[in-house]
Amino acid sequence: MIGIFTLGILGLSLSVDAFAAAVGKGANVKHARWNDALRIGAVFGFFEAITPVVGWMLGLALSTWIAAVDHWIAFALLCGIGGNMIRLAMKDEPEEEAEIEQPKAASRGVLGLIGTALATSIDATAVGVSLGVMQVNILSACLVIGAVTTVMATAGVMLGRHASVWIGRYAEICGGIALMLIGCSILYTHLTSAAG
């Protein structure tokens, strides 16, 4: 069973792409106030909280058939997502940065904000499969992931007022490494408990 600390690290890892996008939003909205930042953060947090449920339901449905290899599936998914986050962050011209730097009107629009929030939460769906396979309490996971993402995205908007988007790139790398470490931890815990 995944503990609250691990869920917090998972939430931080999943929130870094929302953080990177929020830094871009903050850079475009130079005079963003705390209530603007909190509104943007809440939208990111909402989508990051609900998308794992889709993957969780799929993982739960498959868990009885794949119980013998569930730890390998969780390991592969988390390492794959983490590795891809690192790969995208290390590109010379990341696609995410190109998407973040939108005209001010588009970045302020509700549909643009929802689209960005949904795009940054797609990886949470795949992580949700791991949560379902590991039979994690999805309500706790969603609340932690949503709350952490809301805080990170709100901070990202405020930070974006004064900083450049490169901060998001380093956050993305750290998040990818954290996801890979969680995958390794799940695999290690299962293999050592099975051996003991």
Q: What is the pLDDT of residue 93?
A: 53
Q: Which residues contact 128 (CB under 8 A, 6 or more apart)?
A: 51, 52, 53, 54, 55, 56, 57, 58, 59, 138
Q: Comparing C-alpha atoms, which of 12, 29, 8 is closest to residue 113?
A: 29
Residues of the chain below pLDDT 50: 94-108
Q: Which residues contact 18 (CB under 8 A, 6 or more apart)?
A: 44, 45, 48, 117, 120, 121, 149, 152, 153, 156
Q: What is the pLDDT of residue 95?
A: 43
